[in-house]
Structure 1
Amino acid sequence: MNASPSHRPHPAEWTETQSLLPSAERDLPAGRHQFHKEQMMARIHEDLRTSSRTSATSPAAPLKRSNPFLRRAILLPAAAFALAGAVVGGLALTGGDTDGGKTPLGTGPALTTQVGVADAKGAPRLLDRISLAAADTSAPTPHKGQYIYIASKVAGTYVKDDGGAKVVSSELHSRQVWNSLDGRDGWLIEAGETSDKGITLKSDVPFSGAYNALAKLPTDPDALLRRIYRASDAVRDPEVPRDQAAFVAIGDLLFESYPPAEVGAALYKAAAKIPGVVSVDDAVDATGRHGVAIARQNETDGERTEWIFDKKTLRFLGERVVVVKATGDSLLKVGTVTGTSAITERAVVDAAKQVPGQVS
């Protein structure tokens, strides 16, 4: 992948999986969003290194970093758990102008939503039900040589500073990503961020949410949570509370991934043991689907990370991060959605660039 090094990340580019780069290689802007920016810069450096290994025949166009969801496709060490945030719905998703209809630019109004009611007592019971649903083994088991295919819709709100800080949004657009089981290669097509044909994802270090890496995780919730805390502690910025980092780490392992049933169930049981986790009565994903949510608020920046599930089937729908508490130095008001995502399809396919139902 490639990214433009001249464009500095905006505050909505939330906590990311660490690439464990030397600290000297990181950009450390001052201010409340220092940690978010640091993580994005670490991803960018890995991104730039990855691009040098990308096939010379790849039809990729240079990628712009206006879209924070681009982060999820960069391949990183399996030892580093993803510390990602997510996003929200119930929005008026208006995008604004684009570059030739290809590049979502930050010109739309802020995405906003009604803040759902949080219930600390309801979280353990809901997570127990979600864990039981995740333990369903009817999904096909991938085999060597196959790829995990994830299709989604994403958008976001952030503070843009081009001579005067203002809150803007990027339009809702589609993503398709393919990752090999070992997490070392794949393919990404994202509207406005890659060419229509997409780009190669290839790295010497595996994607942390790769199937093989997830399959090696312990299925005992206590042992799994201890491992998550150790991994997130190793890369966590002091500005991010320890419990929040662990919660977000689990969330990223659940997003563009395909965990074995027993691991998925264990991840939800582990999340139930993190202090401060709540249930939310209503949340909406990027495509407008209403659901219930499991969430945790970051007291440092006032943003609540929510995992959204179908109210009946408890199937994972998507993620959102919404501002639930105003902070003095932020332009983002309560109810602002700093991004939104919705999983529209998740499947096992036989080759990169193959969509479900297509003969290889």
Structure 2
Amino acid sequence: MNNPHETLPADRQRFLKEHLMSEIAAAETKATRSRRGPVWLVAPLAVGALAAVTLVVPGRHHDGASTPASSATATPAPSTSTTPSVTPAPEPTDAMGLLGRAAKAAASHTAPVARSSQFVYRREIRDGARQSKSERKSWISVDGRSEGLILDATMGDGRTPWPAILSDAPGAPKTAGFGTPTYEFVSQLPTDPQRLLQQVLTADRSNTVAGISMTPKLRNQIAFGDIQMIFQNISAPPAVAGALMEAAAKIPGTSVVADETDATGRHGVAVVGTNGTLRVSLIFDPTTGAFLGVREVLLSDLPPAGPDGLPPTGNPSPGAGNGKGYDYASAILTSAIVDRAEVEPTD
């Protein structure tokens, strides 16, 4: 079970240790962590990502003018108007096309105003093999320096203060980065997918992986895990969210699937990668670009990866996830920026 007061670096070290042990032993490691807690910390979502989007599809346009009738005759002159025809762009049906449309829709929203003193609020449904389906509400500091709050009946007495991500305490992280992200940090990331991909792949990992050989495979998995953490736990402004979706799909070892479901059964397009001992699907609404949630399956419950090394796309083995077919899933229901912890949005 995750300890809500566990520091982020320790959690990152646990992930890296799992990966390293699996590499050395050349065998899959059965994940034992409880799904009662999030991947790293409870996740808010970009406010704009939940708004509906009207897609502009080219249609028919009628323009031109009619010649006025001559005063010498009651018969109007023939119309000279023309009706140019524009063929509507076809709706994408392939996985990459759906993801591209979702990314463009996500980036089209207006960015919310988020002050450093505010909090990102999230209400979500969480379900997993080791817990019953439950609702969680969370408030996480925008700048990472204020204590947040989690309301979750599956955790202790249901009310858990969440420590600040950044702190001036000895040994605590003092600046934000991919290892310790905040909403403020994420809001400053590039909105060009290729630039963003290069930044996440070349980020300094020396403090995170000290003493561990950084192989290309491990670097790619850490990069995917960083993007997962932002969507699942931190949130991103709309333009950054769109770029993150496309950057995640460009990471070597990831794939895109056209149909995946969140914890409430909503369908979406997903970027799929591996994070330690898990196959992870980041699920997005194909029309609005909203981040719907995640679905995680133990690699040991899946067919082996193919020669290309991509995440296995087969179904979980019978009985996987205590009969649920997955180890953990979530569904984001509400997300907003609010002034104080325990204050919920009014609309």
Shift of 1:149: 0.4
Of 271, 283, 297 in structure 2, the residue corresponding to residue 308 of structure 1 is 283
CA distance in structure 2 between the partners assigned to 1:200 and 1:17 by the alignment: 12
SS in 2 for 1:242: helix
Q: 1:289 aligns with which of 258, 263, 266?
A: 266
Q: What is the correspondence of 1:153-232 to structure 2 with a 5 Å cutoff?
A: 153-157=125-129, 169-184=130-145, 185-203=147-165, 204=167, 205=173, 208-231=180-203
Matched, 1:142 2:114: yes
CA distance in 1, matches of 2:271, 2:183: 23
Distance 1:212 1:355, change over 3 A: same
Q: Which amino acid aligns with 1:356?
A: P
Residue 124 (structure 1) shift: 3.7
- Is residue 349 from structure 1 mapped to residue 318 from structure 2 by the alignment? no
Q: Would you say 1:67 and 2:42 are equivalent positions?
A: no
Q: CA RMSD in A?
A: 4.0
Q: Is the 8 A contact 1:210 1:257 kept in 2?
A: yes
TM-score by length of 2: 0.61
Distance in 2 (CA, whole Å) between partners of 1:276 and 1:200 is 33
Partner AA of 1:181 in structure 2: V
Residues 355 and 199 (structure 1), Cα distance of their counterparts in 2 relative to 1, 3 Å cut: same
Q: CA deviation at 1:68?
A: 4.0
| CA distance in structure 2 between the partners assigned to 1:193 and 1:266 by the alignment | 34
Label 1:4 to 1:346 Cα distance change in 2 as closer, same or farther (>3 A): closer
Letter in 2 for 1:341: S
Secondary structure at the counterpart of residue 256 of structure 1 = helix
- In structure 2, the partner of 1:319 is 294
Q: Aligned-pair distance for 1:70?
A: 7.0
CA–CA distance in 2 between the matches of 1:66 and 1:128? Answer: 31
Deviation at 1:314, TM superposition (A): 3.0
**Do the aligned partners of 2:106 and 2:238 also contact (CA within 8 Å) in 1?**
yes
CA distance in 2 between partners of 1:127 and 1:180 (Å): 30
Higher Cα Rg: structure 1 or 2? 2
Change (3 A) 1:271 1:233: same
Note closer, same or farther for the CA distance 1:232–1:321 as it changes in structure 2 (3 Å cut): farther
Could you tell me which runs of 5 or more consecutive residues in structure 2 were left unpaired when the two chains were aligned: 44-92, 168-172, 305-315
CA shift, 1:148, in A, is 0.6
In the alignment, is the contact (CA less than 8 A) between 2:127 and 2:263 conserved in 1?
A: yes
List gaps (5 residues or longer) in structure 1. Answer: 6-15, 41-64, 75-120, 158-168
Measured against aligned partners, the alpha-carbon deviations of 1:213-262 in whole angstroms (never above 9, x if no partner) come to 11222333233222212338544666964323322321211123331222
SS at match of 1:71: coil
Q: Kindly report which structure 2 residues correspond to 1:1-360, keeping only aligned pairs within 5 A, or say none.
A: 3=3, 18-19=9-10, 32=27, 67-69=36-38, 71-73=40-42, 122-157=94-129, 169-184=130-145, 185-203=147-165, 204=167, 205=173, 208-231=180-203, 234=206, 235=208, 241-297=218-274, 301=277, 303-322=278-297, 323=299, 325-326=302-303, 333=317, 336-357=325-346
Q: In the TM superposition, what whole-angstrom CA distance separates every residue of 1:44-97 from its partner, at most 9, and x where no partner exists?
A: xxxxxxxxxxxxxxxxxxxxx6624273249xxxxxxxxxxxxxxxxxxxxxxx
Check the 8 A contact 2:111/2:239 in 1, yes or no.
Answer: no
Q: Which amino acid is the alignment partner of residue 333 of structure 1? A: S
Give, as a single letter, the amino acid of the residue that structure 2 aligns with 1:201: P
Deviations 1:264-311 (A, max 9, x none): 12212322322343222321111222222221357x85x431111224
Contact 2:280–2:295 under 8 Å retained in 1: yes
CA distance in 2, matches of 1:284, 1:68: 20
Structure 1 contact 152–343 (Cα < 8 Å) conserved: yes
Instruction: Write the distance in 2 (CA, Å) between the matches of 1:4 and 1:252.
Output: 16
Q: State the 1:352 CA deviation.
A: 0.7
Q: What are the Cα deviations for residues 144-199 of structure 1, in whole angstroms up to 9, with x where unaligned?
A: 42211011111222xxxxxxxxxxx3111122111111112211122211423432
Question: For the structure 1 residues 22 and 252, does the alpha-carbon distance in structure 2 shift closer, same or farther, using more than 3 Å as the test?
Answer: closer
The letter of the residue matching 1:290 is H
Equivalent position SS for 2:234: coil
Judged with a 3 Å threshold, the aligned counterparts in structure 2 of structure 1 residues 281 and 264 are, in CA distance, closer, same or farther, namely closer
Instruction: Give the partner amino acid of 1:291.
Output: G
- Using the alignment, how far apart are the partners of 2:267 and 2:242 within structure 1? 22
Identity of aligned residues (%): 30
* Alignment check: 8 A CA contact 1:285 1:318 kept: yes
**Cα displacement string for residues 311-360 of structure 1 (whole angstroms, at most 9, x for unaligned residues):** 43232110111357346xxxx736631111111111011101111119xx
Question: Residues 198 and 295 from structure 1, CA distance in 2 versus in 1: closer, same or farther, beyond 3 angstroms?
Answer: same
Report the Cα offset of residue 122 of structure 1. 4.2
The 3-state SS of whatever aligns with 2:41 is helix
User: What is the alpha-carbon distance in structure 1 between the residues aligned to residue 136 and residue 28 of structure 2?
Assistant: 26
